[in-house]
Structure 1
Amino acid sequence: MKRHITLLLPALLLFSLGAAPQEEDPTAPYLAGVKERFSGFEELKQTAPFDYSVRGEGGRELGRLLLESGDSERKTGYAGPIPVALCLGSDGRIIGVLTGPNQETPRYLRMLEKKGFFERWNGMTLEEAAERQVDAVTRATYSSDAILHGVRQAAKYHFEAAKRKHSSAGNDWNGLLLSAVVLLSAAIYLLCDFRRRLKRETSSCNCCKN
């Protein structure tokens, strides 16, 4: 009996590991849209939370895919929330807005697409998109407002994240510069002190000779 239990335990462990649900790729719902907007797309590489580098052949960066942050507030559309993602070109400006899985009535989203609603942010920087008010599309107001809110939230999050990163890099540079100045000052002091000591010793030796 003990032998059977001993053999059964590893089997149960292997079964539980195999049955464990795998974490979903958050970028999967947006891949089709990414491929449409980036010619030569090959892969996405995460570089920061909710921030993915769009790579082409040889790892060349074509742009970025930015997702909404996990704690961002969502505004409900006609039938629920509408997740969004932003596509940025190599110049850091928006080249498209993508929608994620949602329960919105398809005809509303088709109406927005037909009216060019998703292209209204094209050419904007993240800072501009975070503040810009875009007019809603008539007869799809709830959907328009939900997407507008999502775009502004995502743009604001990533713009502020970039500012924090830039500020941190500046602080690191300032710290390195200060350290270099301190080391240089210490080196100059030691050199001057060495020259003074050498001069005194030379003077002392000359007095002894006299």
Structure 2
Amino acid sequence: MKTSRKRFPAMLAGLLVAATVCAQQPKSAAPALADADVRAWFPALAQRQPLASQQAVETIKDDKGTTLGWLFCTDQIAPVVRGKRGEIGVWVALGSDGKIRGVKAGRHREDKKWFDRIREPFYKAFEGQPADGSGGKPDAVTTATVSSRAMIDDVFGACRTVMELPGVRELLAAGAAADKTAPAQN
């Protein structure tokens, strides 16, 4: 009995060191989304390049080099939003017009039984929404409320972060200025 009491502090210290080391490890990159999936949101996709100011964000360009938008997974972008069982990675396609082109569920640890209740209409509700959340937000899914609310907060929170990144902010501002000076279409 006395021997196990002496070992306990040493084992506890070892566990604390291991937990600290694991917590300090950088997040592993989200697995890449296939070009076919990205083309659903950006049909003119020709290039995917990491954004200089944030490697987890890809700049999507057409064959002329024009930026069409950005692609990122929310579990790689602040703020961290957790569902019922941890972070939910959501792929987000953000257009150069500042609107969400689409979202797709990525990595998560949510209960499959509940998470599978989040269906296509929920994901489609993001499409065309201003990425800053000013156009309203999709409704949470009744039978998967915690997970779907976390996804909503995650998508719009990550979009706001990405929209403030150097290279993104300037392009969005230039597009907004061009929209204001363009003649009205009748």
- TM class by smaller structure: 0.5 to 0.7
Q: Match for residue 119 of structure 1? A: 124
TM-score with structure 1 setting the length: 0.54
Q: How does 1:1-210 map to 2 (within 5 A)?
A: 26=30, 28-29=32-33, 33-47=37-51, 48-49=53-54, 50-57=56-63, 59-68=65-74, 70=76, 72-114=78-120, 116-128=121-133, 132-161=136-165, 165-166=169-170
Distance, in Å, in 2 between the alignment partners of 1:56 and 1:100 is 25
Distance 2:47 2:28 in 1: 16
Deviation at 1:30, TM superposition (A): 6.5
Q: Which has the higher helix share?
A: 1
The aligned counterpart of 1:10 is none
Structure 1: 5+ residue runs without aligned partners?
1-22, 170-210
Cα distance, 1:117 vs. partner? 1.0
- The answer as to whether partners of 2:133 and 2:156 remain within 8 angstroms in 1 is no
Equivalents in 1 of 2:28, 2:84: separation in Å?
A: 26
Which stretch of the first structure deviates more once superposed, 35-44 or 142-151? Answer: 35-44
Residue identity over aligned pairs, in percent, reads 26
Partners of 1:39 and 1:111 in 2: how far apart?
29
Deviation at 1:107, TM superposition (A): 4.5
User: C-alpha distance in 1, partners of 2:150/2:107?
Assistant: 13
Q: How many residues align?
A: 144
Instruction: Report the CA distance between 1:81 and its aligned residue.
Output: 1.6
Q: 1 CA distance for matches of 2:38 and 2:168?
A: 27
Distance in 1 (CA, whole Å) between partners of 2:112 and 2:93 is: 22
Q: Is the 8 A contact 2:131 2:160 kept in 1?
A: yes
Q: Cα distance, 1:164 vs. partner?
A: 9.4
Task: Please tell me the root mean square deviation across aligned C-alpha atoms, in Å.
Answer: 3.5
Following TM superposition, the consecutive aligned residue runs of length 4 or more in structure 1 with deviations greater than 4 angstroms are: 29-32, 162-166
2: distance between equivalents of 1:43 and 1:25? 19
Larger Rg: 1
Contact 2:60 2:69 in 1 (8 A): yes
Counterpart of 2:128 in structure 1: which amino acid?
G
Conserved? CA contact 1:41–1:54, under 8 Å: yes
Deviations 1:91-126 (A, max 9, x none): 331111122211223454443224x11122221222
Q: Distance in 2 between matches of 1:43 and 1:164?
A: 16
Distance between the aligned counterparts of 1:63 and 1:165, measured in 2?
12
For the residues of structure 1 that align with 2:102 and 2:109, how far apart are their CA atoms?
21
Question: Does structure 2 retain, via aligned residues, the 8 Å contact 1:41–1:55?
Answer: yes
